[in-house]
Amino acid sequence: MTPRIGHLDADCFYVSCERVRHPFLRGQPVGVLSNQGACVIAKSYELKARGVPTGMPIWEALPVCPEAIFVKRDFEWYEVLSRRMLEIVRELRPAVEYYSIDEMFFDAREMTFADAKRLQRAIYERTGVPVSVGLSLSKTLAKLASSSGKPLGCVMAVGAEEVQQLLRGRPVEKITGIARRSARRLEGYGIRTCEEFARADRRLIRRLLTKRGEDLWWELNGTPVLPVQTARTAHKNLARGGSLGVATADPERLTGWVARNAERLVEALDYHRVDCAVLAMSLEFKDGGAAGAQFRLPRAAADFPLLYETGIKLLERCWGQSPVVSYMHLIAGELTPRAFAQRSLFDRPTPRQEVLAEVKRQVNERLGRFALRSGATLPLADLYADEASSYDVCDIYGKTCF
């Protein structure tokens, strides 16, 4: 049989990007920090070997590896290199799925091992980013193949023996889509490895993990059911938010975060040309626990005043007894394409709001993102002063993973 699908995965992508523009970082233990410098979100192999895991706070990582070099993440720069990688893959294999900032699937029919090595070399020579490549019969197998060869590996698993070797002994959590909770459920039935998953009864897998699990079962057995998506399907929801960096119970800072997330959500809705009929909020607290709520909007909308006002109401409902908040998300649901929206004179922002929104867009396009923003974000002046906070991975559009 011939390879059907390929998977390309950059090695230590964020660190590799930093090494492209700062060559002195090569060979050094390097960690890339979150936008507020609190946690390690990516690490070099050298730093991993010193015992620093992803997610470790900087104040814990420094004692573990005092000689480490830590840098703030810069997703705008990472996107530049990611897009270059995408262009190179498309030159050789036109059918490409931009899965994430550092991963791509592509149609690998008629592709040989030598072709895969040429692709790998081309990306390194033209971008400076090392990548691993996997070729196999399905997307799931191709991803397992590329990960098995890291770093800078090139693995082909096409024949029955090659596929079996790829699956043997590999923990079931290595399958994309099998998280810790699903792994525990499978373990109760003696399924701990990818090979045991592939050999299990298909009906059992479906009962335990629904259709998504059954799709993975077919994929591991060499029958591709997950196609290479050259264009992203329409979003069902759009969300903006994340870690607050420094957890807080300050009402003014929390209100500022509502405003920030609402403005970023409006950007996303405008980009995709959709309105939302439902707005939801999710909070996570420092001492554990979470809260969430949602409201149906009086009209399908994508304007800041309504989303912000609704976000404040959601905060009042979710944030009881002043707990310390560590994460906040605003989620827009029931999205409607604007081209199909039915509106009346009363079912829209006021003329003044529309003018203000347009002025805001034009000013920010000329002077930079967030140059003009809601006054409610003033308590977050420290956040906006940090350039690393101006751009996030969710601002890179076109990826299929989220």
pLDDT for 149-168, tens place per residue?
A: 999 999 999 999 999 999 99
pLDDT at residue 225 is higher than 80? yes
- Shared domain for 192 and 312, answered yes or no, is no
pTM of the model: 0.90
> Other C-beta atoms within 10 Å of 369: how many?
15
| Residue 374 domain-assigned (yes or no) | yes
* Lookup result for tokens 């938010």: 241
Mean pLDDT within 275-299: 95
Q: Which residue in the list 46, 103, 214, 263 is annotated as catalytic?
A: 103
Q: What is the mean pLDDT of the chain?
A: 93
How many structural domains is the chain composed of? Answer: 3
What pLDDT score was predicted for residue 339? 74
- Shared domain for 91 and 158, answered yes or no, is yes
pLDDT at residue 134 is higher than 70? yes
Phi, psi at residue 380, to the nearest 5°? -105, 30
Q: Please provide the distance, in angstroms rounded to a whole number, between the alpha carbons at the two ends of the chain.
A: 32
- Shared domain for 107 and 28, answered yes or no, is no
Q: What is the DSSP string of 279-313?
A: EEEEEEETTS-EEEEEEEEEEEE--HHHHHHHHHH
> Other C-beta atoms within 10 Å of 323: how many?
18
103 flagged as catalytic:
yes
- Shared domain for 168 and 23, answered yes or no, is no
| Residue 107 domain-assigned (yes or no) | yes
> Other C-beta atoms within 10 Å of 333: how many?
17
| Strand pairing report for 30-33 and 69-72 | parallel
What pLDDT score was predicted for residue 217? 98
Q: Which residues contact 179 (CB under 8 A, 6 or more apart)?
A: 173
CB of 52 within 8 A of CB of 65?
A: yes
Which of 56, 77, 98 delimits the end of a domain? Answer: 77
Q: Which residues contact 185 (CB under 8 A, 6 or more apart)?
A: 208, 209
- Shared domain for 114 and 69, answered yes or no, is no
| Residue 209 domain-assigned (yes or no) | yes
| Residue 266 domain-assigned (yes or no) | yes
The continuous run of DSSP H or E covering 70 comes out as strand 69-72
Domain span holding position 370:
238-395
Beta-bridge partners for 171: 193
pLDDT for 240-256, tens place per residue?
A: 999 898 899 999 999 99
- Sign of the CA dihedral with 123 first, then 128, 129, and 130 last: positive
- Shared domain for 82 and 71, answered yes or no, is no
- Shared domain for 58 and 197, answered yes or no, is no
Phi, psi at residue 285, to the nearest 5°? -110, 150
Mean pLDDT within 28-44: 91
- Domain CATH number, residue 199: 3.30.70.270
- Shared domain for 44 and 63, answered yes or no, is yes
- Shared domain for 250 and 211, answered yes or no, is no
Q: What single-letter DSSP state applies at residue 342?
A: -
| Residue 358 domain-assigned (yes or no) | yes
- Shared domain for 89 and 203, answered yes or no, is yes
| Residue 88 domain-assigned (yes or no) | yes
| Residue 233 domain-assigned (yes or no) | no
| Residue 226 domain-assigned (yes or no) | no
- Shared domain for 110 and 64, answered yes or no, is no
CB of 210 within 8 A of CB of 237?
A: no
